Amino acid sequence: MNTIIAKFNSTCAETGTVLKKGDTIIYDSISKKAYCLTSTAAKKAQDEAECRSTANYIEAQEEAFYNRY
- Mean pLDDT, range 31-43, rounded to an integer: 88
Amino acid at 61: Q
In terms of Cα–Cα distance, which of 47, 3, 7 is closest to 25?
A: 3
**In 1-69, at which residue ranges do the beta strands (DSSP E only) sit?**
2-5, 10-11, 18-19, 24-28, 33-35
Report strand pairing: 10-11 vs 18-19: antiparallel
| Residue-range definition of the domain harbouring residue 63 | 2-67
- Report if pTM > 0.75: no
What pLDDT sits at residue 67? 82
**pLDDT tens for each residue of 41-61:** 888 888 888 898 999 999 999
In terms of Cα–Cα distance, which of 6, 5, 46, 2 is closest to 26?
A: 2
What pLDDT sits at residue 55? 92
Per-residue pLDDT band at 34 (split at 50, 70, 90)? very high
- Number of domains the chain is built from: 1
